[in-house]
Amino acid sequence: MTNETLLGCRRELHIHLTNELLPFWTARTADYENGGFITHFDQYGHDSGEDEKSLIAQTRSIYTYASAHRAGYGGGALADLARHGVDYLLNRMWDVDYGGFYWMTNRRGDVLNRQKIVYGQSFAIYCLSEYTLATGDPRGVDYAQKVFDLLQKYASDTTYGGYFEMFERDWTLTGPGAAGGDRKTLDAHMHLMEAFTTLYECTRQPIHRRKLLEVIDLLVGKIMHPVYGTGVPQFWADWRVAPQIKFDVIWGWDRFTEDGVKREAEDNTSYGHNAEFAWLLLHAIDVLDIQPEKYRTSLQKAFSHAVDYGVDWEYGGVFVEGSHSGQVYDREKEFWQQAEVLIGFLDAYRLFSEEKYGKAYENVHRFVLDKMVNHGVGEWWPLMTRQGVPIWTHMSHSWKINYHTIRSMIQSIRRLDKLIDQSSSPE
């Protein structure tokens, strides 16, 4: 990638972030009547009216505004938005009797689902730690540590390691099967890694460092495929691979068959998850002050699989998923996967200095800016055909929020700046 290419990509991302993405959200999301954030918008950016505020959407929004403020955007307004979200999270979604955050409220703040789901609790740790790092408000890290302690008490599996994920309000484990009580997932453990990373960055407490290292060891040693280094979606409690099924309470819109079982249920991996895992691991070991060489093999396998099999060199972008050995199953283009591989491919290019990663970044960058961004509105289409025609058209709901898109722009710009500095420096 030439210096001219790097500067051009950075310029496009900065314009998109500051002129389209951030204005889309700051103009319409704060609910000044009930608190928290409105998170459901149609393809035109109009409030689509769903009467819910999910833990995922609220925490991801807090993270977005806090991290963007911390990165130097918004002139203070984003810190105010983050504080507005934290007020709602602590006042309306915290369970004062059993601890932890409820899964869902309606717009007014009445609780609709009292379950404690570790995926959501991880984002509470993540956003609240980021909020304190960004603003200095001690409430964030105080509640982040409370949730961390609850996970160690109730969710940690002391027999096989890792964390169970689906609990009732009182932290009683849910039933098996679609209730989710007998399974562990890549998704939750990967997001616990990012949450514990930011918590440790905030506190520098030894217990947070130790638990972060434990999650990293699980991801590298149990969750990623032993041969291909790719993410395996679901496991039984003892870390045997389990067929990937849809839970009763879900946090995404993955495509399953009518019986709730994923096609190729024991042999599928997400190109976006693999790139996201790798760059989050790189960030974690940077915060831990560990050299990347220790995890070089794991990083190389995850990044290279996404490039070698996931990139669509004909139409642009990255596919959804395929087999661990390389066959592509789903050639559609999903917004969050594009967002994560942008960051990941830049990290891989910086780490390995292989041109295939630079070319892959340029490919996805072009697809995103030319096809996936709904420029007339400012956000990204959620799901597209292989050729780049929208399939789903909403701009936001409880599962598609600002977290992936804005984080991708901020983190990609940061990496492009480092590459620009390197290319501009004398030998």
* 42, amino acid identity: D
Scan for tokens 């932890």, then name that residue. Answer: 100
Cβ neighbours for 5, distance < 8 A, ≥ 6 positions apart = 362
Q: Among 150, 144, 37, 163, which Cα is nearest to 97's?
A: 150
pLDDT at 248: 86
The string of DSSP letters for 205-255 reads -HHHHHHHHHHHHHIIIIIB-TTT-PBP-EEETTS-B---B--SS-SS---
| Distance from C-alpha of 178 to C-alpha of 294, rounded to nearest angstrom | 37
Q: Is the pTM of this model over 0.85?
A: yes
List, for residues 353-364, the tens digit of each pLDDT value. 999 999 999 999
Kind plus residue range of the DSSP H or E element containing 328: strand 328-330
pLDDT at 393: 96
List, for residues 158-178, the tens digit of each pLDDT value. 999 999 999 999 999 999 999
Work out the pLDDT band at 246, boundaries 50, 70, 90.
confident
| Distance from C-alpha of 181 to C-alpha of 165, rounded to nearest angstrom | 7
pLDDT at 411: 98
| Distance from C-alpha of 108 to C-alpha of 92, rounded to nearest angstrom | 9
| Distance from C-alpha of 216 to C-alpha of 65, rounded to nearest angstrom | 27
List, for residues 206-224, the tens digit of each pLDDT value. 999 999 999 999 999 999 9
Sequence-ordered strand ranges (E) for 355-409:
383-384, 390-392
List, for residues 265-321, the tens digit of each pLDDT value. 578 899 999 999 999 999 999 999 999 999 999 999 999 999 999 999 999 999 999
Structure tokens at 191: 């997001």
Work out the pLDDT band at 261, boundaries 50, 70, 90.
low
pLDDT at 425: 67
* 106, amino acid identity: N
pLDDT at 378: 98
Share of the chain above pLDDT 70, in %: 96
184, β-bridge pairs: 235
